[in-house]
Amino acid sequence: MKKYWCILVFFTISLIHFQTLFSQSLFNPDGLTLIEITFENSNWDQQLDAFYAADLNERLLATIEINGESFDSVGIRYRGGATYNADQGKNPFNIKLDYIKNHDYAGTETLILNNGAKDPSFVREVLSHDIANQYMPSPRANYAKVFVNGSYHGLYVNVENVDKNFMSLSFNSNRENTFFDCSPDGTIDPPIVGCAEGIGSSLEYLGASVECYKDYYDKKSDPIGGWNELVNLSNAMEASAGDIENSINIDRAIWMLAMQNLIVNLESYIGAAPENYYLFRDENDRFNTLPNDFNETFGGDALLDQGQQELTLTELQNLDPLLRSNDNTHILMKLILQDSRYKRQYLAHFRTMLEEIINSGWYATRAQELVNMISIEVTNDPNKIYSESQFIANLNNTTTIDYNGTMIDIPGVAELMNQRLTYLLAHPEFTKTPPGINNIGHFPLDVIPNSNNTITAEVTDADFIYLGYRNNLTEVFQRVEMFDDGNHSDGVAGDGVYGGDIFVGLEGIQYYIYAENSNTDVGTFSPKRAEEEYYNLTTYGDVVINELMASNSTIVADQDGEYEDWVELYNNTSTSMNLNGYYLTDDANDLMKYQFPNVTIDGDGYIIVWLDSDPSQQGLHADFKLSANGEELLLVNANLQVVDKVVFGAQTTDVSYARFPNGIGEFMAKVPTFNSSNGLGSANVNLAKELGVKIYPNPTQDYLTIEIKEDEDLEVDIFNALGQKIRSFQLSEKIQLDIADFRNGFYWLSTKGRVLGRVVVQK
């Protein structure tokens, strides 16, 4: 059979905000998690206080129910620094489900329950995590209603635990990679001879000895060389090395630092003593930053510099977005803000969050939703730290609280941010008009894997444009300059259309565009949330790897009742194909690991291969397994040509990695659909070409025009990235749709289960 490879035309460019799919019940953003703790003894509080005072990390055994699911022999201790107080009724908990037995709840082994100390509004922590998760890897958070020994103990903030598993999933890397908690515990010894005196976890270079750093960082992983890697990172920071991006993921750091400034979080890297973030080394030997501890955001901490007066409300409202631009004690901020390109990118990310979170009113709406959700539970909380009147007032107004014997003022969230918005919108950096990036496309329209292609875009008011691209989510984005010279499939030289040449492999390409104007000193990204979000060019062929599961615990068993790894192949054609002589492998250097027998895959049909290292079993069983930490899987034809390939990161148990739409789309974490469609049938995928479909503008903001050349009525459905149908309409020749209520992301158009195209919504 003649092979063909193609890709959906221009409108198939899709926007991905990759986020591993977790169970939503533990961190339900729109509801409360119910946690019931049963201790054997009634004096459990005194015992936990004694454990905390002894600082031996001892735990008290208990039984716990989470949303009705029971776990025995769990270990519980109090946690927290300034948020713990033996004299208060509600202290933070650390609950280890796997303390004695191999327990977990939807993959979570440790629960972190915070008590809302220093936040009378009780929204700061959850709201800040909700913001962070839109732009960078970050723990999730919601509220938990906690009972102890049958009585309501209080309302807590339930925050996702940051451990090796979390880091592995977030950065698609081995869980044993170097991992630091950058939060000094306050017990700083005098500097060692040969070591400079540090300030918090600043990443300053303190000396060549690893001992110089051990008071300021807590290594959470086991690699022997981890401390040396930190020393090397700090040395590169100090030297402002030109290849600093080989040492740290600058884009993730920029997102984190810009967010901390925007929401006035001085209990962070930008504060008096840099703290409350993590560092994790990925498979590309780069450290990645991840924020932590949000209970004092929105001005909850007002100390900018050690030994100085706390900032006034007005000073907090007018916090300079370019804070620390010449501060050697905050070397990461200095490095970013003194490099002209990094500075423009920092301000571009800052502008995106300012527009999407603050100026849009999203934060205020979400904060009010949180207040409405928890108000009854706060009222009934027998151990609440702050009064109901303080809770009601602090969303909008400054509230005075007793914090460990000192009366301090906590700004109202809206009170702070309303004026801060006014200040930032008038700031010279945000009155500039950034370059425009529109009408993104590619040439040729039919992308052949392992071929040269060009990404094009109309760009205005820019003097430098680059294309960031990578093959898959485990790789670092590479950069190539885009030109308007008539030599890069960009049309006529000087027409405002720019082109950038790239090589597209079997996996397709993930990419974004950055443009800047050096004269006005302003830059912008497309999509706005790059590199966290990106566009996709997806390739597919006759028979494809359609879905895989690398950690199967309860989803489906093979014929012997064993829950093993599996992969699903799908035939995109309507004709059956014999796979005799085809191979599957997880090693590009060994293409013949598993050879298919004389087996046929039906047209529009599926075949399952169990990847369990047990080829003697009945059926299709390969002699290798997949790694749940992430690897690659290749489909090879009889001529030893790789015809499909997927590279995946760390996988979540009982969550599959699948193409969406079925057979032709990009891979994403999904609820498993074993041996069946992943959603939106892909049979006869050339339908869009047959109908002459045009969808524009794309990307779009508020409206969408769809045209077809055929004079017929079609019932068209719009699906979101999760496969949920959100709108239907009749299409006859041409229609314009108002989509102002759509959120950022990508959407699918479908008629009678057949794909018409994809649309990017980018506000």
- Rounded average pLDDT over 280-304: 96
Handedness of CA 379, 381, 383, 384 (dihedral sign): negative
- With a CB cutoff of 8 Å and minimum separation 6, the contacts of 507 are 471, 472, 539, 645, 646, 647
pLDDT at 19: 37
Asked if the bond preceding 697 is cis, omega within 30° of 0, the reply is: yes
Confirm if 78 and 93 have CB atoms less than 8 A apart: yes
Q: How confident is the model at residue 406 (pLDDT cuts 50, 70, 90)?
A: confident
Identify which of 18-22, 158-162, 712-716 has the greatest average pLDDT.
Answer: 158-162
Going by C-alpha positions, the residue among 517, 539, 324 that lies closest to residue 453 is: 539
Q: What is the Cα–Cα distance from 315 to 299, expressed in whole angstroms? A: 10
Neighbouring-strand partners of residue 394:
none
Provide the 3-class DSSP secondary structure of residue 213.
helix
Residues paired with 759 in a beta bridge: 747
Domains located in the chain, CATH noted: 116-429 (no CATH), 436-537 (2.60.40.10), 540-670 (2.60.40.1260), 687-761 (2.60.40.3080)
Identify the pLDDT of residue 441: 86
Residue 18: band (very low, low, confident or very high) from pLDDT cuts 50, 70, 90: very low
Give the integer Cα–Cα distance in Å for 280 and 276.
Answer: 14
pLDDT tens-digit profile of 102-117?
999 988 999 999 999 9
pLDDT beyond 70 at 738: yes
Q: What's the pLDDT score for residue 23?
A: 41
Pairing of strands 451-460, 497-504: antiparallel
| CA–CA dist 91, 48 (Å, integer) | 10
Alpha carbon distance 672, 142 (integer Å): 26
Predicted confidence (pLDDT) at residue 57 exceeds the cutoff of 60: yes
Residue 400 near residue 118 (C-beta atoms within 8 A): no
Coil, strand or helix: which one is 148?
Answer: strand
pLDDT digits (tens, 9 = 90+) for 310-320: 999 999 999 99
Task: Name the strands in the sheet holding 277-281, side by side, starting at the edge strand that comes first in the sequence.
Answer: 218-219, 179-182, 277-281, 287-291
Q: What are phi and psi of 757, to 5 degrees?
A: 160, 175
- The helix (H) or strand (E) run that includes residue 432 is none
The closest of 54, 60, 52, 47 to 81, measured between CA atoms, is 52
Chain mean position to CA 136: 5
Q: Is 312 helix (H, G, I), strand (E, B) or coil?
A: coil
Report the percentage of the chain scoring pLDDT > 90: 71
Give the pLDDT confidence score for residue 445 in this predicted structure.
73
The per-residue pLDDT for 154 is 98
Mean predicted confidence (pLDDT) in 479-497: 95
Q: pLDDT tens for residues 198-237?
A: 999 999 999 999 999 999 999 999 877 899 999 999 999 9
Alpha-carbon distance values, 149 to 59, 180, 467, 491, 591 (Å): 17, 36, 58, 73, 58
**Distance of alpha carbon 257 from alpha carbon 265, whole angstroms:** 10
Rank 11-25, 149-163, 447-461, 711-725 by mean pLDDT and report only the highest: 149-163
Each residue's pLDDT tens digit, 542-560: 899 999 999 999 999 999 9
Query: DSSP H helical segments within 63-177, as ranges?
Result: 124-132, 164-171
pTM: 0.87
Q: Which residues contact 144 (CB under 8 A, 6 or more apart)?
A: 32, 33, 34, 35, 113, 155, 156, 157, 158
Alpha-carbon radius of gyration of the chain: 27
Q: Assess contact for 470 and 251: CB atoms under 8 A.
A: no
